[in-house]
Amino acid sequence: MRLVMLGPPGAGKGTQAKVLEERYGASQLSTGDLLRQNVADGSPLGAKAKSFMDSGGLVPDDVIVGMMEVPLAKLDSFVLDGFPRTVAQAETLDAMLGKLGKPLTAVLLFDADRATLLRRLAGRWTNPRTGRTYHLEFNPPKVAGIDDQDGGPLVQRPDDAADVVAKRLETYDAQTAPLVEYYDRTGRLVRIDGLQAIGDVTAAVQKAIDARSGAAA
């Protein structure tokens, strides 16, 4: 199983990636994690990436894709969340996976309307010590502003503020629309209703994987 997950912030990609990891042993690969690991290890690609990161520039596509190549070569099942971000990255990824003999099973697009995403993200509060999250509407703590388990204060991350969330969603739309078109044109895109209950989303993901695996077979 080799998947790319697309969808705006708050659409539930991370939750489903964890389900797939537990159910199938599919490794979730994050460009952010790979960047940090390569920089920490002092690898040649890490050093190259750090020079751009330190100057505030965007890390070039060839560096990002190069970091993905080693883990992708080792893994039979993986879930890519947050990569690719551009059509150029998608084309390079296809070429790399073709060389490895590991074509994508499917590209899952998690759809959700903007009003719901704003409610989901702007109501989120986090325990900065553990990463545990709550939501004012969907999963509130027993005492406002206090973690149920360790009694410490909860905070709202700066990128979960309503105005920042709106900007993040605008950026996603601008960056991802061409990518959605690319995968749709090549017949690998499957749309998932991200507003369903988590169990229903998982069932839809499973159905999509089964259908694509059967088509590939």
Q: Cite the active site residues.
A: 13, 85, 124, 157, 168
Provide the 8-state DSSP code for 200. H
DSSP code per residue over 39-102 = HHHT-HHHHHHHHHHHTTPPPPHHHHHHHHHHHHHH-SSEEEES---SHHHHHHHHHHHHHHT-
CA proximity to 209, closest of 103, 96, 107: 107
Q: Return the half-sphere exposure (C-beta side, CA atoms, 13 A cut-off) of residue 121.
A: 25
The residues, ordered by sequence, that sit 6+ positions from 34 with a Cβ below 8 Å of its Cβ are: 67, 68, 71
Question: Token pair for residue 82?
Answer: 């947050």
Strands (E), 63-211: 78-81, 106-111, 124-126, 133-135, 189-193
